[in-house]
Structure 1
């Protein structure tokens, strides 16, 4: 099992999209991210979006997943009630054999620490309430539940980790 320090995050490029597309077609990813072609199109759109930063997740040099940071940019954002300096994240591990082995919690913790180093004050994550495995992983990564909401993507168990 890699340590938190072994995770690396490389800005996503057009060249990474075929790999991300393969992962999106995996049943464990598709269940939460939806139709692979639609999800890939949305991720492609983030390549030039100033409010979203998409990354390839590596340990130490092997690509294993995807993570994106999005700015919670004021009161018009669905999570605009969060404190100033908050950012949201979405992610998945693409390799099925790594699911349920602790990689998710380490990946999320490593990315949260990276964001804290960049000055983010709070990291928000919004798993589906039925995604018990993800919720447990986020709790292991230091996130706590603060609300349950209905979002444009369905119900969300709102969780956050604050910078210490």
Structure 2
């Protein structure tokens, strides 16, 4: 990511679905997001219910990936979220085109996205990557997130990471 590049966000709508499906079908995304049709349905459902706010992020006008915010405490399946306040958002992100991975776009998109989440009352933002997703762990650390715990269950080991409002404001 070059310092003079611009990141923009567009709310996901039906016109983005073919692109999202293509990205979700890429091996580097599918490894961590699961079956493409099921993931696309979850994105649709989140948009319809308002439980997730999804966006396509672009770099200099070129679609580069997907980012969403959601509230982990709204999901009983996220047992690791029991200590969070109800206003603590979680985010998920992936870089779509394989040739754009490893270039700093995810970290830059996160840094550009989090001000909208801190505009509310959230004391921190959470992200929960799989422990084996070392590329994501590096990107999230580069964006300012720090590990504060881990969760082990039948799905595997999850690293719980946070970006606090205080740390975000300090490094802005």
Alignment TM-score, normalising by the size of structure 2: 0.85
Within a 5 Å distance, the mapping from 1:5-154 to structure 2 comes to 6-73=6-73, 78=79, 79-150=81-152, 153-154=155-156
- Could you list the runs of 5+ residues in structure 1 that have no partner in the other structure? none
* TM-score normalised over the length of structure 1: 0.89
**Cα displacement (A) at 1:40:** 1.1
More helix by share: 2
Task: Call closer, same or farther: CA 1:21–1:127 in 2, change over 3 Å.
Answer: same
Quote how far apart the aligned CAs of 1:86 are.
Answer: 0.8
Q: Describe the superposition over 1:21-72 as per-residue Cα deviations: whole angstroms up to 9, x where unpaired.
A: 0000111000001111111111111121222111111123221100110023
Contact 2:5 / 2:59 at 8 angstroms: preserved in 1?
A: no
Maintained 8 Å contact 1:83/1:122: no
Q: How many residues align?
A: 164
Distance change >3 Å, CA 21–CA 152, structure 1 → 2: farther
Which has the higher mean CA deviation after the structures are superposed, 129-138 or 69-78?
69-78
Cα separation, partners in 2 of 1:74 and 1:65, compared to 1, 3 Å: closer
Q: Secondary structure at the match of 1:123?
A: strand
Runs (5+) with no aligned partner, structure 2: 167-172
- Whole-angstrom distance in 2 between the partners of 1:110 and 1:40: 24
Secondary structure, counterpart of 1:31 in structure 2: helix
Other structure's SS at 1:47 match: helix
- Provide Cα deviations, 1:121-151, integer angstroms capped at 9, x if missing partner: 2110000001111101111110000111036
